[in-house]
Homo-oligomer: A and B are copies of this chain.
């Protein structure tokens, strides 16, 4: 081990998280390299990979993001555009519904809404991943905008249901909610756009 570098251990993991938090805040998600974070924490980059898998994994640990969006998006994309609106609605609203991921998504959302820097980081982290994985599946004009409209609508429903807790929407079984909104979500993904 190089001179001045920390060995592994709980303190090291925390030092890496602290360094990552600082680097992400300073230069944004894309420009904060795993190598520069390791250097700032005085550890070998391989140790960062050992703890967090990748820069994506490190970022998720920093913001306590509760699931791997790459896995979620790959599963959605694998089954193609047909029925994607329903799968997206069921998957997204299901994450907010879950006793495991729901409260953590709420915490991330609150942080993003009240701190523009956190919002910018999450935006940068998610949009690249979403664009890479879902745009090819859409295969229509303005695919990015379509995905944002679909996800924006679903986000609003999750907020009304789980954060603002407005009845009767908050008490509606999630399956009924998915049935109710899936056509609108699908329409954003593959419907005709208004004439220019």
> Which one of A6-14, A97-105, A112-120 contacts B?
A112-120
Bound: A181/B151 CA distance, A: 13
Bound: A183/B153 CA distance, A: 13
Q: Is A184 in contact with chain B by the CB < 8 A criterion?
A: yes
* A153-B153, A180-B194 known; A159+B123 contact, CB < 8 A: no
- Name the contact of A113 in the complex, choosing from B110, B151, B191 (C-beta under 8 A): B110
Task: List residues of A whose CB falls within 8 A of some B CB.
Answer: 109-110, 112-114, 119-120, 122-123, 127, 142, 144-145, 148-149, 151-161, 163-169, 172, 176, 179-181, 183-184, 187-188, 191, 193-194
Bound: A167/B119 CA distance, A: 13
User: How many copies make up the complex?
Assistant: 2
B169 x A160 contact (CB < 8 A): no
15 chain-A/chain-B pairs, Cβ below 8 angstroms: A109-B113, A112-B164, A113-B113, A119-B165, A123-B166, A148-B169, A151-B160, A152-B153, A153-B153, A153-B181, A153-B184, A156-B159, A180-B193, A180-B194, A183-B191
* A113-B114, A127-B166, A165-B123 known; A160+B184 contact, CB < 8 A: no
Please give, as numbers and ranges, the residues of chain B lying within 8 Å of A176 by CB-CB distance. 194
Main SS class of interface, A: helix
3 nearest A-B pairs in the assembled complex, by CB-CB distance: A156-B156, A179-B194, A184-B184
A110, A112, A156, A183: residue with the most chain B Cβ atoms closer than 10 Å: A156
Please give, as numbers and ranges, the residues of chain B lying within 8 Å of A122 by CB-CB distance. 164
* A164-B119, A187-B184 known; A149+B157 contact, CB < 8 A: yes
Beta-carbon nearest neighbor of A170 in chain B: B148
Bound: A169/B144 CA distance, A: 9
Q: Closest CB-CB distance, A63 to chain B, in whole Å?
A: 14
B153 x A166 contact (CB < 8 A): no
A164 x B194 contact (CB < 8 A): no
